[in-house]
Amino acid sequence: MAQAETAETANGAEGPRPSGGARLRALLRGRPGDRDIWRRGILLAAAAVLLALVMVLHARIPNRVGNLGSLVETFLPWFGLLVPLILLGALLRRSATALVALLLPLVVWLNLFGGLLTGKSAADGGDLTVATHNVNAGNPDPAGTAREVAASGADVLALQELPAGQVAVYEEALAATYPYHAVEGTVGLWSRYPLSGHAPVDIGLGWVRAMRATVTAPGGAVEVYVAHLPSVRVKLNAGFTAGQRDASADALGEAIARARHDRVVLLGDLNGTMNDRALNAVTSQMRSTQGAAGDGMGFTWPAAFPMARIDQIMVRGMEPVASWSLPRTDSDHLPIAARVSF
């Protein structure tokens, strides 16, 4: 029997399969005496170094030409997808140089976003649950969308992109869950607890797309801001057009800086990510609940295949406990929710 097995092996039958590490070493060794293993793949190595530099120095990429810096920062997490592509090229080229260089972007990406890969949401706790949703002006089922987000159990719910002709539909659908509400322009706030002092917030648009109100929760007063910043576009002839969004973000940041209460919550569609330097007027003074207590990247747009988290829940004077995305509705955005502690 042993002789037969030896013969089969000698005739090409499969013996014990090498481990993954052994296969990688064999791939890199290439032909015996191959001295080009460190000379091949120089362009791949240069691409890896360039990728690392873009991620490390993203804040230094200028916005003067087509808001390129903000565009890069909007989709910065997706730059990590280039790492496995370069890895594949390095293996095919049998390039040790490219493999070593690839460690640079891998370490940088993990430093920037690795913390989002671990679950930080607490199973319970928190004094207030808040939610926000851009319901989409063209939503074919506003009542159904309202009921779905109300089922999240949020104590405070913010809605954006409310058409004037459909405000009554949302009010009726949410009345049983939220006895208090206020609508200013195209944004609204619904609450289980009393609201006071609601007023529009001027973000320089000429029409109302932001508001504030005080929620008197059992643990104390919370100043809540609801905002829908202007949309951005990517155009071949103009680049990343975000000037109006940027100016509105500055105005919103100034308004939040003047908040009268220590506890502040911002809910809304900011049409920008936490990495985008154009939102610094807001992000520099508030914490993202997703970054502090979320699970995963928490992308919200577009709902069919989320690529960026442009809907935000941010707090000041409170501690994020949990942050998560809600099930998809008939909107092109995903609703999000968070629990915060006083």
Which helix (H) or strand (E) segment is 106 a member of?
Answer: helix 96-113
Confidence (pTM): 0.88
Please report, for the chain, the start and end positions of each structural domain, with discontinuous segments joined by +. Answer: 16-117, 128-341
| 265: nearest Cα among 223, 298, 229, 228 | 223
DSSP string, 242-305: -HHHHHHHHHHHHHHHT-SSS-EEEEEE-SS-TT-GGGHHHHTTSEEHHHHHBSS----BSTTS
Could you give the strand order of the β-sheet that contains 156-160, starting from the edge strand earlier in sequence? 180-184, 187-191, 156-160, 128-134, 336-341, 319-325
Pair 324, 305: CB distance under 8 Å: no
Quote the pLDDT of residue 234: 78
CATH topology of domain 128-341: Deoxyribonuclease I; Chain A (3.60.10)
Question: 3-state class of 120 per DSSP?
Answer: coil
Q: How many CB atoms lie within 10 A of CB 9?
A: 12
CA distance 27 to 217: 63
CA distance 54 to 44: 15
Q: Cis before residue 18, ω within 30 degrees of 0?
A: no
Q: Give strand pairing partners of 132.
A: 158, 336
Pair 318, 265: CB distance under 8 Å: yes
CA distance 149 to 327: 8
Average pLDDT of each block of 10 consecutive residues along the chain (342 residues)? 46 56 60 74 97 97 90 96 97 94 98 90 93 98 98 97 97 98 98 98 96 97 98 74 93 98 98 96 97 94 97 98 97 98 96
CA distance 194 to 177: 13
Fill in the DSSP letter of residue 174: H
Tell me the angle at which helices 82-93 and 42-56 cross, rounded to the nearest 10 degrees: 160
User: Is the Cα torsion angle 277, 278, 283, 288 positive or negative in sign?
Assistant: negative
User: Is the Cα torsion angle 157, 163, 168, 173 positive or negative in sign?
Assistant: negative
Greatest pairwise CA separation for the chain in angstroms: 91
Quote the pLDDT of residue 242: 87
The pLDDT tens digits for 223-236 are 999 999 999 987 66
CA distance 340 to 342: 7
Quote the pLDDT of residue 1: 47
First to last CA, the chain: 75
Place of tokens 């916005």: 63
| 298: nearest Cα among 326, 339, 258, 263 | 326
Quote the pLDDT of residue 21: 63
Quote the pLDDT of residue 44: 97
The pLDDT tens digits for 75-94 are 999 999 999 999 999 999 99
